[in-house]
């Protein structure tokens, strides 16, 4: 409960900055919190799951005793639907950032508010983290892909006791959670490097109709990357799948910081960023 109070309090402070001091709020959110997240997911996904504000919101109904009496574990079909929606959100939202989300404290706040509302609602209807944290949350896919390199913690660090809310729990099976999941995780991993590279190739001049410029590089990159790894999988066989997923994860992480570090240097030193 204490962790939830602390993380939600910090989220409320950041939300206030986004609304009332947007320049500072945007700089902290997009220039510090988000860039640090992939590295934290890679090095210590268990720590991430303890401090993630949305995770705290998802568990808030349980902590406050507001979970419905009929709350249950998501069925396999429900879990699959939630994960597909989460993957769709992961592919749909980041390309919109250069258009207006990155530039507007209100827009960033509304995105966070919507997902906070979804996390809270699902926390009242389903047991534990199974519906939001292990389903609908877009970050879940990145967490699964990067978290495969960590050592297993062997305990549900935030849940108190395990209620088996999902078959691929990062808390219990940190280093092996991806192996216990569905094909959707592997396919997302294969497409992630191209998606990341494509995002950084979005042109600054979006034109009068920006959607092709936003989604062309990202979704095109995702598809190209997926096809490359799918082809390698077909040639090398199922025994290579774990290695291919790990290679895709490392390529995506390396590409992200290759492009992101110079941007962050420009942002925090107030230098003119070219390109």
pLDDT at 57: 94
Residue 4 has pLDDT above 50, yes or no: yes
What is the spatial distance between Cα 87 and Cα 101, in angstroms, rounded to a whole number?
19
CA end-to-end span of the chain: 45
Residue 54 has pLDDT above 90, yes or no: yes
**Helical packing angle, 241-269 and 211-236, nearest 10°:** 150
Give residue-wise pLDDT tens across range 258-269: 999 999 988 888
Kindly report the number of other CB atoms within 10 A of residue 242's CB atom: 14
pLDDT at 5: 83
Across residues 61-81, what is the average pLDDT?
88
pLDDT at 154: 47
pLDDT at 179: 57
- Distances 154 to 45, 46, 173, 175, 188 between C-alpha atoms, Å: 13, 10, 7, 10, 25
CB 61 within 8 A of CB 112: no
What is the spatial distance between Cα 37 and Cα 41, in angstroms, rounded to a whole number?
6
Higher pLDDT, 272 or 144: 144
- Distances 203 to 4, 7, 217, 251 between C-alpha atoms, Å: 39, 35, 9, 22
pLDDT at 275: 37
Give residue-wise pLDDT tens across range 100-111: 999 999 999 999
Higher pLDDT, 195 or 206: 195
pLDDT at 62: 87
Query: Helix (H, G, I), strand (E, B), or coil: what is residue 274?
Result: coil
CB 5 within 8 A of CB 16: no
Higher pLDDT, 149 or 228: 228
């Amino acid at each position: 409960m204490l962790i939830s109070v602390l993380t939600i309090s910090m989220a409320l402070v950041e939300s206030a900055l986004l609304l009332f001091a947007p320049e500072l709020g945007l700089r902290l959110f997009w220039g510090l919190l988000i860039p640090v997240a992939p590295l934290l997911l890679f090095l210590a996904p268990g720590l991430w799951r303890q401090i993630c504000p949305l995770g705290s919101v998802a568990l808030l109904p349980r902590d406050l005793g507001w979970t419905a009496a009929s709350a249950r574990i998501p069925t396999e079909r429900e879990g699959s639907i939630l994960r597909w929606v989460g993957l769709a959100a992961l592919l749909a939202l980041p390309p919109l950032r250069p258009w207006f989300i990155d530039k507007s404290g209100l827009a960033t706040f509304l995105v966070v508010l919507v997902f906070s509302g979804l996390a809270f609602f699902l926390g009242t209807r389903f047991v534990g983290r199974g519906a939001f944290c292990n389903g609908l949350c877009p970050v879940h896919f990145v967490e699964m892909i990067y978290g495969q390199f960590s050592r297993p913690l062997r305990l549900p660090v935030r849940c108190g006791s395990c209620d088996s809310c999902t078959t691929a729990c990062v808390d219990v099976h940190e280093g092996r959670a991806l192996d216990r999941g569905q094909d959707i995780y592997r396919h997302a991993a294969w497409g992630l490097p191209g998606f990341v590279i494509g995002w950084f190739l979005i042109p600054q001049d979006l034109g009068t109709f920006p959607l092709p410029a936003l989604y062309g590089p990202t979704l095109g990159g995702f598809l190209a990357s997926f096809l490359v790894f799918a082809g390698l999988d077909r040639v090398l066989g199922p025994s290579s799948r774990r290695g291919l997923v790990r290679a895709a994860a490392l390529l995506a992480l390396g590409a992200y910081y290759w492009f992101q570090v110079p941007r962050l240097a420009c942002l925090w030193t107030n230098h003119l960023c070219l390109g």
